[in-house]
Amino acid sequence: MATLEIRDLHVSVADGSDGTKEILRGVDLTVQAGETHALMGPNGSGKSTLAYAVAGHPKYEVTAGTVTLDGEDVLGMSVDERARAGLFLAMQYPVEVPGVSVSNFLRSAVTAVRGEAPKLREFSKEMKKAMDDLSIDPAFAQRSLNEGFSGGEKKRHEILQLEMLKPKIAVLDETDSGLDVDALKVVSEGVNRFSSGAGTGVLLITHYTRILRYVKPHFVHVFSGGRVVAEGGPELAEELENEGYEKYAKAGVAL
């Protein structure tokens, strides 16, 4: 059973004055296959830093702690090795790659993760099915990656990657950001299809509760001041909806 385990993770970034600033201050979090975790917190609390640090972004320096996937040291892996091991990051702000079509990008990514190139006919059939499930126009496959995409198109494409690559653990960074109600429902259905598969787990990062109307988490974690300050079930998300993050923000500062 796939398990992502984060223990006492500390992460710093350059502060612009030849020094560093600690963003994550001892994060402990475990995500297992069959589980959907919601990581919630206000802007600036360090949620995205956690996602990028786990994925291996060079901007973020891990100064202490461990991250393992099925007992293997994630921090000792390159970015592509992490992807092949079964980690997936859906970014809050996907980058544009002019001249590379969605279809070519997906086939290259699938080849890298699976270790061999899929037969073109089988790949095309698989991609069409995934695009149909996400209500994506077939012409989308020939567009340059994220170039000129609306916010909703970018997020649907992230979930399209998720469905094609079939990782063990998916970290979804504010997948609900910028989505209208219809797009939110479609994207949420994609997340639910993935999370219902065998051997998969989801860490859903958000500061809104609206996506949790469609993606039901097993566990909710409140993030403040660079660490988890409270944990619970879906009822904790309801509390945050009604009361906000204020008391948890104070807890984050005090820790």
Q: What are the extents of the domains in the chain?
A: 3-94+167-254
Which CATH number, 1.10.274.30, 3.40.50.300, 1.20.1050.10, 3.90.1300.10, labels domain 3-94+167-254? 3.40.50.300
Helix (H, G, I), strand (E, B) or coil at 58: coil
pLDDT in tens, 206-231: 988 899 999 999 999 999 999 999 99
Share of the chain above pLDDT 70, in %: 98
Residue count of the chain: 255
The CA distance from 139 to 191, in Å, is: 23
The greatest distance separating any two alpha carbons of the chain, rounded to the nearest whole angstrom, comes to: 57
Helix (H, G, I), strand (E, B) or coil at 68: strand
Beta bridge partners of 10: 25, 64
CB 234 within 8 A of CB 217: yes
pLDDT in tens, 41-77: 988 899 999 999 999 999 999 999 999 999 999 999 9
Q: What is the pLDDT of residue 251?
A: 63
* pLDDT over threshold 80, residue 161: yes
The pTM for the full model equals 0.92
The DSSP code for 138 is: G
199 CB contacts (<8 Å, ≥6 apart)? 1, 2, 33, 168
Contacts 24+ apart (CB under 8 A), 76-83: 79/55, 80/112, 82/54, 82/55, 82/56, 83/112, 83/113, 83/165, 83/167
* pLDDT over threshold 80, residue 250: no
* pLDDT band of 18, cuts 50, 70, 90: confident
* pLDDT over threshold 80, residue 8: yes
pLDDT in tens, 164-200: 999 999 999 998 888 889 999 999 999 999 998 878 9
Residues 175, 141, 196, 151: what is their CA dihedral angle, to the nearest 10 degrees? 10
- Mean pLDDT over the full length of the chain: 92
Q: What is the pLDDT of residue 246?
A: 85
Type of residue numbered 187: V
String of b and e for 155-186 (b: at least 16 CB within 10 Å)? bbbbbbbbbbbbbbbbbbbbbbeebeeebbeb
The CA distance from 212 to 122, in Å, is: 34
* pLDDT band of 249, cuts 50, 70, 90: confident
